[in-house]
Structure 1
Amino acid sequence: MGKLSYARAHWVARSLIAWDVNVEDTICYLYASKSATLFLTEDGIEGHDMKIQVEQDIFGLPLKVIEKFPHIADYKAFKIPYSVDIKSLLKCQLAIASFSENGKCSDATGLQLPGVLDDLFSYSGPLGAVFTREAVSLYLWSPTAQVVCACIYRDPSGGDPLVKVQLDEANGVWSVNGPRSWEGCYYAYEVSIYHPGTLQIETCRVNDPYARGLSADGERTLLVNLDSDSLKPQGWDELADEKPDLPSFSDITIYELHIRDFSANDKTVNPEFCGGYLAFTCEDSAGVCHLRKLRNAGLSHVHLLPSFHFAGVDDEKEKWKHIDDNRLATLPPDSDEQQAEVVAIQDEDGYNWGYNPVLWGVPKGSYASSPNGPCRTLEFRKMVQAINRIGLRVVLDVVYNHLHASGPLDRNSVLDKVVPGYYLRRNADGCIEHSTCTNNTASEHFMVERLILDDLLCWAVDYKVDGFRFDLMGHIMKSTMVKAKCALFSLSKEFSGVDGSKIYIYGEGWDFGEVAENGRGVNASQFNICGTGIGSFNDRIRDAVLGGSPFGHPLQQGFATGLSLQPNEHDQGSKPVMDNALATLKDHIQVGLAANLRDFVFTSHKGEAVKGCEVLTHDGLPVAYALCPTETVNYVSAHDNETLFDIVSLKTPFEVSVGDRCRINHLATSIVALSQGIPFFHAGDEMLRSKSLDRDSYNSGDWFNRLDFSYQTNNWGVGLPPKEKNEKNWPLIKPRLADSSFKPLKSHILAAVDNFRDLLKIRYSSPLFRLRTAASIQERVRFHNTGTSWVPGVIVMSIEDGYEGMPGLSQLDPIYSYIVVVFNACPSQVSFVSYALRERTLQLHPVQLMSSDELIQTSSYESHSGCFIVPPWTTSVFVETRKSD
């Protein structure tokens, strides 16, 4: 007969309800109770203050409703009389019931309200705390609340409020004007509101969704004025003029870094700054020196993992628990004791990646010297300023697709207390969707989208962040992403102190869960986002280079890890099957090297001229989706899944030496570094970083996430990785960790750093590696080892420049007129002859001629025959120097 705890009906517009109810000539009623006393009986719903008959609309739902809520397109439509006071009704517990001809209740349910709230209460005025010379004003959007009060406190915790004031409501917005003396105080709202999670009127204590400051662990909202001069480092207002130059988004190279990883174990950092924002201000620290080396080689952007207020780490450092590093260091490399001790305190230590958002607009307190007061604001700004002055721009990892908590009771629940049932996406029964991991947000709702846009502008203007990476971007609507790009692009130095045209945005365009195939509207998935200039991660090149996928068998090999050329113990089919698979993956990589452009035409391994979108993945999806190069972010590793060195160590056969694994690590990195589009690197891959084969180190503590900028160790073999995510692979992991030959030496690490810097130098030695348009890539990029007679394990790419006066091909590079890159994934030296590349004046790139890698210097090219010789597991770059006039 139905349940009132479900919400299977949707109030989609002022006078329209959508309900997938099995009715023909029955009667439906809408019920309301201001005190939340509705209950269901066999005769219908009792305990109501109001009962309203609703009539079915034979014309069904209007197009604008279907476009906004495509998942309910087939629901029946019911009209509410215009005489009803809708706004008052929305503050009540609501239910709808249907009755058969005999008067019996046949179905009943609660209602989902986002549609009608958007219709009646969409709002573009001030929200949060607004500071003027005379007053501090508070504004809260909560149209379903019955009463809202603000409790003002002097201290960050404890004590009685200085004053408790009731806010006034106007069209769903509650507000109050207070004295200027409130600045520097703290506050919390008390919101009396009906909550569908408990079916009761709840008085929720909650922070301001537009908070710009907090006390420790979000106990209270801080009344902080971000325009105050006291919160600006010296030179802050002039920082826009100091930003590192960025001629084009095609010139971007991204380095993904976790704030705590950067300095928690760096002995050259002031101990008070370790693991926090201010570590980036230590100009002579090992970490900063490392970043400066990478910047001098060409690196442009540092992507910081979440640094807003998230759950999972206590802001007060004195409460953290610690493991005994010295004792764990004495344990065997394949022991399960290390992970047991790490896991025992993992929710009480200082470590978490931060993908547990609570409030999006406040810097995380655990990274600050003090979590109370405005310290976190000042120190975050100092961090951005310091990174910019190194010569790097700053990307902030934003997580708008989900929230850590919901309901009226959890202290980390904010939005779901302020407007219950609105900010979080619901399924057909009215339960919260959890496909992103927990508490999916709904950017298709007006005020959710507005909060996202306002938050982005705050970080861009008030913290001068240079870019944004969107976690699970596919769960956000495309329209929201386009509005975000436009809003950021519109910022100017003249009016905002920020050049918005230099702010790059990108994200994870995965298409799954309730939003898959545009189930909740056109979402920001890989295939939908093309044409917007917004970047999305290219998992195709990652899987082709390394093999398999993060969800497949861990020993599945790829182009760089030995597929067909040096098989491991995993059964990957017969030799012909593996050969065909290797040829297919080569095509995937070539498409990626050409920026994963949808319309890029090349010759496939079958000898056919195909577009990138005509090459298919194993599940039948097009490999390519981008329309311009900066819509593709190429990578082989990120914070998710194993590090590059770990995955190489896992997939390559046991007999491969550690030195050769290092070469494979470099080979995989080189494919990303020399591709068109945006290269993306996980911090530490250039130092052979290991997490002891942990596939998900989000909560694995400093022990498994350690970075060593002294280059002494790469953190391999520090114990079996945590049981929760890795136990099923322990039989594969244990013998590898136990084998001392897998562990690289300091010399290997130093060589890896040098090799990475060389790749950056090569990329930035010529604009031909950073072509700005799809047309330019099509005109200039060619692949030569193609067709049915290709040399297995070898990719040969050329990039051609024009000459002054040359028709059809302009000159871009003043130094090099032609470049050839040979990627050799074979365990032996290869010889490749190309008739098309004969009679050129190609030489090994000057950077590689000066390389510390002696093997790479044995690479050669013979002009007469067009023969290239390249060492095993090596990427060799040959250049033709432009002839002087």
Structure 2
Amino acid sequence: MVDVLRVPFPVLQSSPSLSFKPRLCPLIPPSRRLHLKSNSLLFPLFSSSPSFFKLPLRCSSPSMPLQLSSLSQDSLLYSRAYWVTKTIIAWNVDVVEGSCYLYASKVAALSVTDNGIQGHDLEIKLEEDRSGLPPNVIEKFPHIRDYRAFKLPPVLDAKNLVKCQLAVAEFNSQGKCRNATGLQLPGVLDELFSYDGPLGAFYSAEAVSLCLWAPTAQAVYAHIYKDPVGGSPLEIIPLEETNGVWSTKGPKSWEGCYYMYEVSVYHPSTLHIEKCYANDPYARGLSADGKRTLFVNLHADDLKPEGWDELADMKPDILSFSDISIYELHIRDFSANDDTVNADFRGGYMAFTLKDSAGVLHLKKLSKAGITHVHLLPTFQFAAVDDEKENWKYVDSKILEKLPPDSAEQQEKITAIQDDDAYNWGYNPVLWGVPKGSYSSDPNGPCRIVEFRKMIQALTHIGLRVVLDVVYNHLHANGPFDKDSVLDKIVPGYYLRRNTDGFIENSTCVNNTASEHYMVERLIIDDLLSWAINYKVDGFRFDLMGHIMKRTMVKAKDALCSLTKERDGVDGSRIYIYGEGWDFGEVAKNGRGINAAQFNICGTGIGSFNDRIRDAMLGGSPFGPPLQQGFVTGLLLEPNGHDHGTKDVEKAMLASAKDHIQVGLAANLRGFVLTDFEGKERKGSEVLCYGETPVGYAFCPTETVNYVSAHDNETLFDIISLKTPVGISVEDRCRMNHFATSIIALTQGIPFFHAGDEMLRSKSLDRDSYNSGDWFNRLDFTYNSNNWGVGLPPKQKNENSWPLIQPRLADPSFKPQRSHILAAVENFTDVLCIRYSSPLFRLRTANAIQERVQFHNTGPSWVPGFIVMSIEDGNEGIPGLSQLDPIGIIQ
């Protein structure tokens, strides 16, 4: 039986808005043509019968060049109209005396000519609604608030029509086509197909079930394989559709096998019906490099390390999020160069399970001093690093060690293999819900799952909770053919945010995702819950959180908070989430809805990084002049020759930086009142930076993550070495490093440290080491080297700064000795011990901070170079304050 689109025949007779043109594209076989019955119009669609796949489907081949007409600037390569609800299309055209039509082709045969759209199966006249777009549409799509609204007949079977190639065209009063374009469908898909039922693979005692959300697909098959790679499928199973969800059920023997979806779907990037092969978006296991999805039941006992089910009871106590201190670490950095780690474990999950490696001993030291959370850079399945170790390329480190400290040869050798080695930060996601295979002993089968759990368990035993770095703001690949594309193969044009021309936004660098769409939001939240429940993760750091909607973040926080140890094996109330609240790109100023930027997210309890304190301490910004100095790097007091202006200007800059740091020390609260350098009382929100931007924005202390360095940009020691005068001593640079980490450690709010800040870590002045290999990213937990002077950093990101960098690397006086590194570690742990010696350094509310924290050395008579902060306790302090520190009585 052929699935059909049914439009009641009386509608065709009585309504001028619908017309049927039986002239079909010659590519359509006669058996697929439209059939007229006495009472309805039957519009055949693909059924699950294999015989229907004799239609012109294409697989893994580039599109033929499109021959465009004179309307090429508004051709079907563009999607400038939006199908926003079942009955409304939004389009930015001005129709005065002309008309507009919607066209559909089941086999993607539409073409544009001066006479309009050709090759269609269905033509529907659109009527403009002069009242414009309704408020709910404007709220969901604020960037098209001024578009015209065109009405569709309510009887239209939109659920089947979205499976077709669609276009709209505008005609003048003489019937000449003036404009034509494709459609963006997320609005109507959300209205008709939003779904909260099961997705992914599910396991019972007798069977395995699959569910896939793919409302625009014309057919879906599951290819079942015995092995992770190679061989023919054991079975090819057709899935059945119910309201956009495709499902099937198979035998228990599927468990441990692999599968891949075959999805036949119209893809707007090629203007064809494509046969796409994709992994399951809800995959929980993979073969190496994500070639296939693994059927794996994460609840199976053989995937649980001993004691796994009791791990929630062993988590270190966190009475308040104010007690958190975060240490940011890359998995390979931790052990790739550690000779105390078994060679098979280096650079992977299992290195964390050792008892007495140099890295583990260092983590134990930090945990004892007060670090509570280890933030791991991306650990999901990402592109750019082959999962199979035998394919990795290396440069012999012994050769590199013999080269001069300012040589360009190191970076030449590293760059030559950088896309084929073992290293990448991992901010190029392929599948969010599966641990990265390259960090495991075996990327096939369930090994990566077991080893990831062992890593979490080992860190818990050290006394550390674990934060995962999640990258939901973009995906590595798109389109129907890229091996790393997943979501854009299954529902093309839905998961990725598109601009008003219909092309994918890339302000995050590549393939922005659209959390404003319901099923994207759902996928993000489901993924977070999976990591929390199945891996007992304690927190999430959101990369470019500002590109995610505030609504999504709040829903995610609430969903995580609802988890209980009794039901889910994890206490969700102890899961902390934070992220980068930068406001830029197409989402800036709520361009796509209220986004999770710094000023929007405050009041939710979700943390965001405080760049104000970083820039005030270091000087300028990561994107400004490299020699611009700040409070810590010698502004006014240790001039480096950079033109900051007159002495009065420099002094004013230093005073302003001091005020910014003081607001940061008070958790960057918008309501915190302090006396500024002019002697005026101001709230944190009234102290300004970056022109007219308020410094303070947080409502409560745990909404502020204070930091001075992170994986991005130069390390703390490197930026200090770059910004300070060439003539000062290495001891002075080390003291500046101590000063910076101490300020962060003593801030109210949540302190955040980049791994190695406490060891004077250097990346040889590399400003962006995401693909610079183990060589430039080396960490030495034996404290023998901080990795300074290992060659000029890679040319691609650093060449413009080589004239500044080279003389510094060549100067042996810049390089710290082991004694300097040991002193830095001791200073860091001492200051952490101070932080955790008293709850006064970890006040829980904005009111408590306002009542107890004061700054001195303020007003016009301030002394440059000093910040003086006091924190009042109750004993003989301000009347009415409770005593937070216990009072010792000496007898």
Is contact 2:714-2:767 (8 Å) kept? yes
Rounded to whole Å, the distance in 2 between the matches of 1:789 and 1:775 is 28
Rounded to whole Å, the distance in 2 between the matches of 1:86 and 1:779 is 60
Rounded to whole Å, the distance in 1 between the matches of 2:287 and 2:210 is 18
Rounded to whole Å, the distance in 1 between the matches of 2:774 and 2:115 is 61
Per the TM alignment, residue 87 of structure 1 is displaced from its structure 2 partner at its CA by 1.1
Per the TM alignment, residue 883 of structure 1 is displaced from its structure 2 partner at its CA by 6.3
Is contact 1:804-1:811 (8 Å) kept? no
Q: Which residue pairs with 1:316 in the alignment?
A: 388
Within a 5 Å distance, the mapping from 1:128-167 to structure 2 comes to 128-167=200-239
- Among candidates 427, 447, 460, match of residue 519 of structure 2: 447
Rounded to whole Å, the distance in 1 between the matches of 2:501 and 2:658 is 46
Q: Which residue pairs with 1:711 in the alignment?
A: 783
Q: Which residue pairs with 1:750 in the alignment?
A: 822
Q: Which residue pairs with 1:251 in the alignment?
A: 323
Q: Which residue pairs with 2:639 in the alignment?
A: 567
Does 2:298 align with 1:226?
yes
Is contact 1:645-1:690 (8 Å) kept? yes
Q: Which residue pairs with 1:694 in the alignment?
A: 766
Is contact 2:225-2:232 (8 Å) kept? yes
Per the TM alignment, residue 619 of structure 1 is displaced from its structure 2 partner at its CA by 2.3
Q: Which residue pairs with 1:621 in the alignment?
A: 693
Rounded to whole Å, the distance in 2 between the matches of 1:76 and 1:131 is 48
Rounded to whole Å, the distance in 1 between the matches of 2:250 and 2:708 is 53
Q: Which residue pairs with 2:367 in the alignment?
A: 295
Q: Which residue pairs with 1:473 in the alignment?
A: 545
Rounded to whole Å, the distance in 2 between the matches of 1:210 and 1:130 is 11
Within a 5 Å distance, the mapping from 1:865-884 to structure 2 comes to none
Does 2:555 align with 1:483?
yes
Q: Which residue pairs with 1:189 in the alignment?
A: 261
- Among candidates 445, 448, 455, match of residue 373 of structure 1: 445
Is contact 1:693-1:733 (8 Å) kept? yes
Q: Which residue pairs with 1:648 in the alignment?
A: 720
Q: Which residue pairs with 2:875 in the alignment?
A: 803
Structure 2 gap segments, 5+ residues each: 1-70
Is contact 2:564-2:570 (8 Å) kept? yes
Is contact 2:872-2:878 (8 Å) kept? no
SS at match of 2:833: helix
Per the TM alignment, residue 681 of structure 1 is displaced from its structure 2 partner at its CA by 0.1
Does 2:834 align with 1:762?
yes
Q: Which residue pairs with 1:876 in the alignment?
A: none
Rounded to whole Å, the distance in 2 between the matches of 1:214 and 1:234 is 23
SS at match of 2:387: coil
SS at match of 1:412: coil
- Among candidates 337, 340, 347, match of residue 275 of structure 1: 347
- Among candidates 773, 787, 791, match of residue 863 of structure 2: 791
SS at match of 1:83: coil
Amino acid across the alignment from 1:658: V
Q: Which residue pairs with 1:771 in the alignment?
A: 843
Per the TM alignment, residue 346 of structure 1 is displaced from its structure 2 partner at its CA by 0.4
Is contact 2:283-2:433 (8 Å) kept? yes
Is contact 1:270-1:282 (8 Å) kept? no
Amino acid across the alignment from 1:378: V
Amino acid across the alignment from 1:178: G
Q: Which residue pairs with 1:728 in the alignment?
A: 800
Q: Which residue pairs with 2:747 in the alignment?
A: 675
Per the TM alignment, residue 25 of structure 1 is displaced from its structure 2 partner at its CA by 2.7
Amino acid across the alignment from 1:379: E
Per the TM alignment, residue 502 of structure 1 is displaced from its structure 2 partner at its CA by 0.4
Gap change, CA 1:884 and 1:65, over 3 Å in 2: farther
Rounded to whole Å, the distance in 1 between the matches of 2:807 and 2:94 is 60
Q: Which residue pairs with 1:425 in the alignment?
A: 497
Q: Which residue pairs with 1:11 in the alignment?
A: 83
Is contact 2:94-2:148 (8 Å) kept? no
Rounded to whole Å, the distance in 2 between the matches of 1:806 and 1:691 is 47
- Among candidates 655, 660, 674, match of residue 602 of structure 1: 674
Q: Which residue pairs with 2:178 in the alignment?
A: 106
Amino acid across the alignment from 2:453: R
Amino acid across the alignment from 2:654: L
Q: Which residue pairs with 2:39 in the alignment?
A: none
Amino acid across the alignment from 1:196: P
Rounded to whole Å, the distance in 2 between the matches of 1:218 and 1:560 is 46
SS at match of 1:794: coil
Q: Which residue pairs with 1:859 in the alignment?
A: none
Rounded to whole Å, the distance in 2 between the matches of 1:132 and 1:9 is 44
Rounded to whole Å, the distance in 1 between the matches of 2:214 and 2:876 is 64
Q: Which residue pairs with 1:403 in the alignment?
A: 475
SS at match of 2:170: strand
Does 2:806 align with 1:737?
no
Number of aligned residues: 819
Rounded to whole Å, the distance in 2 between the matches of 1:544 and 1:498 is 39
SS at match of 1:331: coil
SS at match of 1:347: coil
SS at match of 2:169: strand
SS at match of 2:480: coil
SS at match of 1:203: strand
Per the TM alignment, residue 26 of structure 1 is displaced from its structure 2 partner at its CA by 1.7
Rounded to whole Å, the distance in 2 between the matches of 1:619 and 1:695 is 25
Per the TM alignment, residue 808 of structure 1 is displaced from its structure 2 partner at its CA by 2.1
Per the TM alignment, residue 813 of structure 1 is displaced from its structure 2 partner at its CA by 1.1
Rounded to whole Å, the distance in 2 between the matches of 1:42 and 1:106 is 8
Per the TM alignment, residue 570 of structure 1 is displaced from its structure 2 partner at its CA by 1.3
Per the TM alignment, residue 597 of structure 1 is displaced from its structure 2 partner at its CA by 0.1
Q: Which residue pairs with 2:508 in the alignment?
A: 436
Within a 5 Å distance, the mapping from 1:291-370 to structure 2 comes to 291-370=363-442
Q: Deviations over 1:506-538 (max 9, x none)?
A: 000000000000000000000000000000000
Q: Deviations over 1:814-847 (max 9, x none)?
A: 15xxxxxxxxxxxxxxxxxxxxxxxxxxxxxxxx
Q: Which residue pairs with 1:261 in the alignment?
A: 333
Amino acid across the alignment from 2:512: N
Is contact 1:804-1:810 (8 Å) kept? no
Rounded to whole Å, the distance in 1 between the matches of 2:472 and 2:795 is 29
Q: Which residue pairs with 2:8 in the alignment?
A: none
Amino acid across the alignment from 1:142: A
Q: Which residue pairs with 1:535 in the alignment?
A: 607
Per the TM alignment, residue 24 of structure 1 is displaced from its structure 2 partner at its CA by 1.7
Rounded to whole Å, the distance in 1 between the matches of 2:678 and 2:879 is 32
Q: Which residue pairs with 1:517 in the alignment?
A: 589
Does 2:719 align with 1:684?
no
Q: Deviations over 1:786-825 (max 9, x none)?
A: 000001010000000113998421111115xxxxxxxxxx
SS at match of 1:555: coil
Is contact 1:603-1:609 (8 Å) kept? yes
Per the TM alignment, residue 88 of structure 1 is displaced from its structure 2 partner at its CA by 1.1
Is contact 2:142-2:591 (8 Å) kept? yes
Amino acid across the alignment from 2:128: Q
**Identity of aligned pairs, percent?**
74
Rounded to whole Å, the distance in 1 between the matches of 2:684 and 2:432 is 37
- Among candidates 92, 104, 112, match of residue 32 of structure 1: 104
- CA-based RMSD: 0.9
Rounded to whole Å, the distance in 1 between the matches of 2:889 and 2:130 is 77
Rounded to whole Å, the distance in 2 between the matches of 1:325 and 1:272 is 18
Is contact 2:466-2:538 (8 Å) kept? yes
TM-score, normalised with respect to structure 1: 0.92
Q: Which residue pairs with 1:552 in the alignment?
A: 624
Q: Which residue pairs with 1:117 in the alignment?
A: 189
Q: Which residue pairs with 1:493 in the alignment?
A: 565
Amino acid across the alignment from 1:772: R
Does 2:151 align with 1:52?
no
Does 2:674 align with 1:638?
no
TM-score, normalised with respect to structure 2: 0.91
Per the TM alignment, residue 884 of structure 1 is displaced from its structure 2 partner at its CA by 6.1
Structure 1 gap segments, 5+ residues each: 816-881
Is contact 1:396-1:467 (8 Å) kept? yes
Q: Which residue pairs with 2:273 in the alignment?
A: 201
